[in-house]
Structure 1
Amino acid sequence: MAKTPANPPPKDVEIDLPDHVAGSGSLERLVKTARTYAEATVAENTAKAYAADWAHFSRWCRMKGADTLPPSPELIGLYLTDLAHPSDKTAPLTVASIERRLSGLSWNYAQRGLALNRKERHIARILAGIKRKHARPPVQKEAIFPEDIQAMVATLPYDLRGLRDRAILLLGYAGGLRRTEIVCLDVHKDDTEDSGGWVTIYEEGALLTLNSKTGWREVEIGRGSTDATCPVHALEQWLHFAKIGFGPVFVRTSRDGKRALEDRLSDKHVARLIKHTVLKAGLRAELPEKERLALFSGHSLRAGLASSAEVDERYVQKHLGHASVEMTRRYQRRRDRFRINLTKAAGL
């Protein structure tokens, strides 16, 4: 069986001086900066996922005695088929996961200067057939409703770590934020190189300026009806007692929980925090613990806001940064079903 190298893209994106141009210190610095910009075209988590997609495809090719390069629509069509209907005992992937794998392959080929035509018949027809045969309604995470978030924050202590986690949950919920958007915040504009936005606190509330998946947007978070559930008050308490006036808003704490450290929190902390407080608050207690944990994720905060805010959905769409109201409606788990009865309206 022929062995195929994984063909990973180089650590530095392949941006360099043309062969006919003599190098210089200033040009080399520009090349280095250009590589940094090129590497920032996708989010870190997306880049990791695409790398995993390529590793899986490369391993599959080695097992089949095939080459990953150049891109072969016929081979990729067979790969998609094996993902949907595995020849071994592995579980088949969902349609959404298969489409994500295909996107990962397209991106990886592009990094190697090669084009993968997803509309080529060997790919397009097989993918259309997989969708027709295996597509299912999307499995959505459970929404966290107002009574849920109140129960979750009530489980947190009032030490430094508790103040931080309370601010994370309330700000994430009221802002309808992605978990990466929560941890990317800085106190001021341009405080750190890895910043994804900053927060400005006013008397009326907090204004978040975010560089998100859909571009720059502003998120207004008004003050709540009580200090116990007010996201802006929780943020102010955390910043005050953690003595944070510069740099990342949400950072790690010392082991004893009494000092704020300099390191920015990972977005994985938000996911772990949600699951931990869901269990402590007793949400969906009728289910086994494993099932309860699987129901909730970082998106549960966004879904909760979209489902609970009783305002014109255009405002919710803008708040969440969605390009269309249809996307916002996907997040709404508890809408007014049957409020308009077309059956009776039609005279039946």
Structure 2
Amino acid sequence: MLEKMGSLTNNSTRIEGSDAPEDEISRSASDDTLNGDEHNEREQVESASIALPAHVAGSGTLDRLIDTARGYAEASTAENTNKAYAADWKHFTRWCRLKGTDPLPPSPEMVGLYMADLAASTGKTPALSVSTIERRLSGLSWNYSQRGFTLDRKDRHIATFLAGIKRKHARPPVQKEAILPEDIQAMVATLPYDLRGLRDRAILLIGYAGGLRRSEIVSLDVHKDDTPDSGGWVEIMEQGALLTLNAKTGWREVEVGRGSSDQTCPVNALEKWLHFAKIDFGPVFVRTSRDGKRALETRLSDKHVARLIKATVLKSGVRSDLPEAKRLAMFSGHSLRAGLASSAEVDERYVQKQLGHASAEMTRRYQRRRDRFRVNLTKAAGL
């Protein structure tokens, strides 16, 4: 079922704050994944940007340090960001070839024309959103900097074009539907109690109660430093579970308390999964064998979380008043975070801390049901 849902998933390759879908990001590019040529190109860029000065003689020790430095440079941006930036450069260089020009050195005039082309629909190709065009511009700036050039985003040929595009085409960001308490309860009720069902139940409940991104869910390890690709670890206590996450904004701790019912308690669901899957080291959420009786060592992809949400939304009948295609488009991994933000009846600052937001304004974007007129400044002003 989940594999079938994968083809219907509207996943996002995004930077935080952007909800642009993959087909919009790619536009005329075939996809946003790195092929062999793009991997080689990225390696060449890193090799050129991190090297010994010409006057320094190489040695085994220095060569190893260079390799280490390149590894740190690659880790400076998230994997999805790296893929998106590589796709941005590939698309721009192909556009330049079609226009009979060269992408190097950077030309603000050509970048401005490129942005104007992205903002205009041509034939069956729709115009890109403003947020996606800005993301493309960030990708070009990053790629130019890695090649030793600077793209001046304040140049009038770029800044003026972008301001005009924003004024003419800007629209409110598309927000995914929040999963409410009754929704998440109905969703987990559709899952069986075999090994795969125990795992998926723990994923949904921990993701919901922790207000986690889907990448944060699947990056968890049982202990600190269990695996090189760990994004955090879990510590189960009497009162709940403490998640230590290496998030986008740095390290943070997320407290997931025990629930009032064993059926919907995220900590209880996590304990059951770890116990029956016999996991005491490495990734918390892993794949299972075809018969669903054994836990494997391979860490789950974050796309599994998106497919799981969509599959259980359909199966549980959440928003069954709408056509299936619209229901699939309404819910995604961010629906878990929006659900917690919208449903937790506590002071806003606690929700902000749980979600790891730098500002209260960002938290409010996730609160789909907040009482907007709790403070009435009109009456307070005497009117």
Q: Which residue pairs with 2:56 in the alignment?
A: 21
Q: Which residue pairs with 2:288 in the alignment?
A: 253
Q: Distance in 1 between matches of 2:122 and 2:277?
A: 55
CA gap of 1:26–1:226, structure 2 versus 1, over 3 A, is: same
Which residue of the other structure, out of 324, 338, 357, is the alignment partner of 1:303? 338
Q: Distance in 2 between matches of 1:327 and 1:188?
A: 31
Query: What percentage of residue pairs aligned between the two structures are identical?
Result: 79
Q: Which residue pairs with 1:58 in the alignment?
A: 93
Q: Which residue pairs with 1:322 in the alignment?
A: 357
Which residue of the other structure, out of 137, 159, 169, is the alignment partner of 1:124? 159
More moved, 21-30 vs 309-318: 21-30
SS at match of 2:296: strand
Please tell me whether the aligned partners of residues 42 and 86 of structure 2 are also in contact (alpha carbons under 8 angstroms).
no
Kindly indicate whether residue 142 of structure 2 is the aligned counterpart of residue 107 of structure 1.
yes
Q: Which residue pairs with 2:266 in the alignment?
A: 231
**TM alignment of 1:266-305, pairs within 5 A:** 266-305=301-340
Q: Which residue pairs with 1:242 in the alignment?
A: 277
* Aligned AA (2:355): L
Please tell me whether the aligned partners of residues 12 and 35 of structure 1 are also in contact (alpha carbons under 8 angstroms).
no
SS at match of 2:270: helix
CA shift, 1:25, in A, is 2.2
* Aligned AA (1:255): R
Q: Which residue pairs with 2:174 in the alignment?
A: 139
Q: Which residue pairs with 1:43 in the alignment?
A: 78
TM (norm. structure 1) is 0.95
CA gap of 1:225–1:137, structure 2 versus 1, over 3 A, is: same
Which residue of the other structure, out of 188, 200, 203, is the alignment partner of 1:153? 188
Which residue of the other structure, out of 187, 192, 200, is the alignment partner of 1:165? 200
* Aligned AA (2:338): A
Q: Distance in 2 between matches of 1:342 and 1:324?
A: 22
SS at match of 1:169: helix
CA shift, 1:266, in A, is 0.6
Q: Distance in 2 between matches of 1:345 and 1:31?
A: 63
Kindly indicate whether residue 134 of structure 2 is the aligned counterpart of residue 92 of structure 1.
no
Q: Which residue pairs with 2:43 in the alignment?
A: 10
SS at match of 1:53: helix
Q: Distance in 1 between matches of 2:45 and 2:221?
A: 28
Q: Which residue pairs with 1:34 in the alignment?
A: 69
Please tell me whether the aligned partners of residues 222 and 283 of structure 2 are also in contact (alpha carbons under 8 angstroms).
yes
* Aligned AA (2:348): E
CA shift, 1:342, in A, is 3.9
Structure 1 residues without counterparts, runs of 5 or longer: none
SS at match of 2:281: coil
Q: Distance in 2 between matches of 1:338 and 1:173?
A: 26
Please tell me whether the aligned partners of residues 9 and 111 of structure 1 are also in contact (alpha carbons under 8 angstroms).
no
Q: Which residue pairs with 1:183 in the alignment?
A: 218
SS at match of 1:34: helix
* Number of matched pairs: 344
TM (norm. structure 2) is 0.87
Q: Distance in 1 between matches of 2:300 and 2:135?
A: 27
Please tell me whether the aligned partners of residues 186 and 192 of structure 1 are also in contact (alpha carbons under 8 angstroms).
yes
Structure 2 residues without counterparts, runs of 5 or longer: 1-36
CA shift, 1:24, in A, is 2.4
CA shift, 1:19, in A, is 3.0
Cα deviations by residue, 1:25-48 (Å, 9 ceiling, x for unpaired): 222221111111010011111111
Q: Distance in 1 between matches of 2:276 and 2:314?
A: 27
CA shift, 1:228, in A, is 0.6
Please tell me whether the aligned partners of residues 9 and 112 of structure 1 are also in contact (alpha carbons under 8 angstroms).
no
CA shift, 1:11, in A, is 5.0
* Aligned AA (1:69): L
CA shift, 1:82, in A, is 0.9
CA shift, 1:347, in A, is 5.1
More moved, 334-343 vs 100-109: 334-343
More moved, 203-212 vs 46-55: 46-55
Q: Distance in 2 between matches of 1:38 and 1:343?
A: 52
SS at match of 1:13: helix
